[in-house]
Structures are given as structure tokens and as C-alpha cells.
Amino acid sequence: MPTYGPSVLIGVLALLSLSLGIPLFLGKVPPNHWYGYRVRPYAMKDREIWYAVNRKGGKHLIIVSCVLTLLFVFTLFFVGDPTAQRTIMNVTMFSTLAGVIYSAVVTVRLSSRMARKKGLR
């Protein structure tokens, strides 16, 4: 009997990252303590830094979602092969982690650079 667990998990991760990334990218999320890239304390204090950082981070989440969607479609071709699905899950976890780390580094650097220009740092 085929197992759809990995496909469902990857699909859910793709939808989650897309649904979190779009509002950030569009600048629809005001500064708050629950949702958004809060990479430095001055990002919460300056709206221009907040929106710039969250647009960049939202863009990264959308890109991660596109990669996950491709992996999701790819897993559907290997529903009956547990070895292939395990390999695809490993690639999924690595690519998701790499995307999140890259996004964190880029957004921290952006917020620091903007804060220095504004004299907040």
C-alpha cells in the first residue's frame, strides 16, 4: 500500500511558507511581537526597517515555498518507493533549513545596515 505521508508533509510546509511569506512580502504585517522577522531590537522600533526586512524575508519564504512545491510534485512520482521518499525528505529538510538560515543572515545584515545609516546603531 502506498504511503503519502512525506508528500503531505512537504505540501503542508509549502503552503505554510507561502501563506506566511506573501503578507510579509506585500508589507501587510505591521510591527508586532508575534509575526514577522524580528531580527534586531531596532527593527521593531523603526517602521522603515521593519517593512524592508520583512519584505526581504517574505520573498525568501516564497522562494522556499516554490522549492518545496517542486519537491512535493517530485514525491508524487515515488509514492511506492520508501527509499526514494526518505531521500526526498532529507533534501526537503536540508533545503528548508538552508533557506531559513540564508534568510536569517540576509535580513540581519539588512537591518544592521539600515540601522547604521539611520544612526540607530
Span 21-49, pLDDT tens digits: 999 999 999 998 899 988 878 777 889 99
- Give the domain extent around 62: 5-118
Q: What is the pLDDT of residue 101?
A: 94
- Is the confidence at residue 16, as pLDDT, over 90? yes
Structural domain count of the chain = 1
Q: What angle do CA 80, 84, 85 make, to 5 degrees?
A: 70
Mean pLDDT rounded to a whole number for the chain: 90
Per DSSP, the three-state class of 106 is: helix
Radius of gyration of the CA atoms of the chain, in A: 17
Q: How far apart are CA 58 and CA 48, in angstroms?
A: 15
Pick the range with the lowest mean pLDDT from 61-65, 69-73, 77-81, 95-99.
77-81
Joined grid coordinates for residue 87: 531521500
DSSP state of 39: -
- Backbone φ and ψ for 18, nearest 5 degrees, come out as -70, -45
